[in-house]
Chain A
Amino acid sequence: MSITKDQVIHVSKLARLKFSDDELEKFSHQLDSIIKYVDKLNELNTDGVEPTAHIVPISNVFREDVVVPSMDREKILMNAKEKEDGCFKVPKIIE
């Protein structure tokens, strides 16, 4: 498979990334060669092979339902650039 510039633009929107035309050109080229490389996976017949999402087969890891005090709001907000009235602030959203 190869990736077209249009696809790269579509993917960049999904990923919330923005590229200049020059970058886009270069990126499309590099991505295309990486995708051609990873395409070698499709040489392999994997019919009937189960996908491995977790390499160590563990299950049912749970936490008990016990309240622990939350973090001080000051600390929660300390890394935010825009804040107001104890909230994080973002550009006005029109719903």
Chain B
Amino acid sequence: MSLQIYIIRRILFAIPLILGITVVSFIIANAVPADPINANLPQNALNDPELVAAFRERWGLDKSPVEQYFIYLGNLLQGDLGVSIKTKNPILEDIQQFLPATIELATVSIVVGLTMGISFGVVSAVWRNSIIDYLVRIFALIGVSFPVFLLALIGLTVFHAELGWVAGPGRLSFLVDDPPQVTGWFTIDSLLAGEWETFWDALSHLILPSLVLGSFVSGIIARITRSSLLEELNADYIRTARSKGLHERVVIVKHALSNALIPVVTIIGLLYGNLLAGAVLTESIFAWPGLGRYVFRASTSQDFPAIMGVSMLIALIYVAVNFLVDILYYFLDPRIRLK
């Protein structure tokens, strides 16, 4: 099957998947036995039937759930995610405000996590059962199992408050103005505007949160890299390569590692989606104005349109990233057949 047909097929498969996501998120949002009225109107206003009725009508809550769903779906097809009950802004606008911060953090974190994780995995596999191997495995275990919010707090207390090595909460120091928005990434926008100080400040604020998130990622990646590389190193073609007299570095990096990284690529897609969706706690602790905090506030106030909008978006990103990963296989390993 050619690549083009494969891509088209994958896109077609994504449609029922996304429809399913809308149904599931709609059902979950509606199944919560709590009324948005209570979460969004002040106590005294609840006594006023007129205000309550006006609220229900305005947000379409007076209609049946099925009707609500199809109205939602209809709007969605026109690219309209609706309006947030809480912020009163179109969800798309809200997402535009909060998404770049999350994407910037998640992307930097995955890069940090990959760099650390692959390096650790490689040395750990190459010096199998040495002290280094044990240390890496302990680190990986801690990285995977240590609660992220605790790591974040310890990091802030030690490296920001006590030692002052890195910047603290927020995306920028509180007295530094945001760079003019182009991409929404403060590091890129500040460079585009030639504001070097803002760039360094933004970078300094990225260090701690990305290391915290990255440590989790690197823990997983280090383990996978290690086991997968060990397997490859025992393979026949490695023995052949060695017997040809190739330099050990070439054997490991060029032959073994490039094959060993295929499972790593698989997991990247999942991890990236996780970082986007699961950064609520980290964003909260680092006062990072990202999507995680937005959706947390939306869920505590039963802001259905916002919850659905963000679920849709994250699902779409998830689907897209995994799609890219599958395409990547095609180039990484010619043996992989597209089915």
Query: Do A and B form a real pair?
Result: no
